[in-house]
Amino acid sequence: MISGIEYWQPLFFSEMATLFDYLPEQTLFVDMENNQMQGERFYQDAKQRYEQRKVDPIRPLLSPEKLWLNVDEVNRRLKSYPRITFKEEKVRSSVRQKNLPVVALPELTIQSQQKEPLGQ
């Protein structure tokens, strides 16, 4: 199999399925505070890579819009599912919102080339 061929799937299928097409209606999503930022960063990086490499005739690229859902579309689809969101700041308590003692994890980067990969 050719490496990266999955990025050409839109050329062979008139419609592309997404993860949302396979999830049960009551799937519970657990959302961390920075998921939005991470999604935006991923999509921005994909657009940037596309702009830098779209002129390569040997390895042509499809635009990110043809390959992935943008962040707004992901958020729109997520609204129809139940969700738990963890945030560091306090929220106004209500039936739908509760304050729990939650803190962010420390940086857990593994330095595989180091003598002590887990040591910082």
pTM value surpassing 0.85: no
Cα-only R_g, the chain: 19
Q: Which of 10, 73, 83, 77 is nearest to 43 (CA)?
A: 73
Dihedral sign (CA 23, 29, 31, 36): positive
**78-88: pLDDT as tens digits:** 999 998 888 77
Distance CA 72, CA 81 (A): 15
Share of the chain above pLDDT 90, in %: 37
Residue 43 φ then ψ, to 5°: -65, -40
**11-52: pLDDT as tens digits:** 898 888 999 999 999 999 998 877 888 999 999 999 999 999
